[in-house]
Amino acid sequence: MRILVTGGAGFLGSHLCDRLVREGHEVVCVDNLFTGQKANIAHLLAHPNFEFVRHDVIDPFKFEVDQIYNLACPASPPHYQYNPIKTIKTSVMGAINCLGLAKRVRARILQASTSEVYGDPTVHPQPEAYWGNVNPIGRRSCYDEGKRCAETLCFDYHRENKVDIRVVRIFNTYGPRMHPHDGRVVSNFIVQALQGQDLTVYGDGQQTRSFCYVDDLIEGFVRFMAQTETVGPMNLGNPGEFTMLELAELTIKLVGGRSKIVHRPLPSDDPKQRQPDIGLARKVLGWEPRVPLEEGLGRTIAYFRGRV
């Protein structure tokens, strides 16, 4: 197939491009390189089945493709809060442009949504049927509400225009090619530990997250796009739950050195718990994460060594 990947030079996008090229597909990678990095796809540039186009999804585009993966959007708080209006434009206008293209060329489209649509959840773990507890006017709202609106657009295009959609809600994912300064907890801890700094834990460190290794997530993407039983939304993430303190201690153990843990005030609207209910993915895709946190963290630390 000929497949368009928006945000294809980003962390997740570049791993998806790798997988699709490896499977023999023609891949068109579109990215404006705001948070994506050309280094992530440098090894693919000479491949005959790979094409890189520098373009912003806010502006219209036309490609003849069979499938679309819409992954374009800054996904870490420092990046999406840097220009919040641009962030929400990317989510909303980018989705409109991708869905319009999917309608025109009759392509199946996967929209990368996020666990952030659940906000600071009052239901735990979070099933797809949960509508969320989101602040619509906070610092994180440009991302949370942008992604929620993109989901709305997907289902309206599906109902009104019969566009073949797949909506995936991504929970915390980590692995090689994470941006070292993206402000996410895994990269923060690894960079701090490798540089011999103390690890910054916000609040008391008892807030929890679930961490899915990138290869597991990409496997879920591909399986979700291949099946026809459901359009979603579907949670993809690791149901194993860890506190920030546990993650910090494991990072120090794997990196070595003398880093200690220091505490800072909790940011506003920071969720206290985040854990996916992946019952739907297990049932429909036969999917669940396979890479344990310690193993995946070890691979990620190996990638960061020499880069920070």
**Contact between 133 and 93 (Cβ < 8 Å):** no
Which secondary structure element, helix H or strand E, spans residue 152, and what is its range? helix 141-161
CA atoms within 13 A on the CB side of 184: 21
199 Cβ neighbours under 8 A, 6+ residues apart: 188, 189, 192, 193, 248, 251, 252, 259, 260, 261, 262
User: Which residue out of 143, 157, 174, 213 is catalytically annotated?
Assistant: 143
| Helix, strand, coil percentages in the chain from 3-state DSSP, rounded to 5 | 40, 20, 40
Q: Is 143 a catalytic residue?
A: yes
Our measurement of the distance from residue 122's CA atom to the centroid of its chain's CA atoms, rounded to an integer in Å, reads 22
Distance CA(238)–CA(218), nearest Å, equals 13
Local structure of residue 36 (DSSP, 8 states): -
Distance CA(46)–CA(148), nearest Å, equals 37
Which secondary structure element, helix H or strand E, spans residue 241, and what is its range? strand 241-243
Q: What are phi and psi of 98, to 5 degrees?
A: -70, -45
Cis check: omega of the bond before 289, within 30 degrees of 0: no
Angle of helix 185-194 relative to helix 244-255, nearest 10 degrees, comes to 30
**Contact between 66 and 101 (Cβ < 8 Å):** no
What one-character-per-residue DSSP string does 110-147 give?
A: EEEEEGGGGBS-SSSSBPTT---B--TTSTTHHHHHHH
Residues involved in catalysis: 143
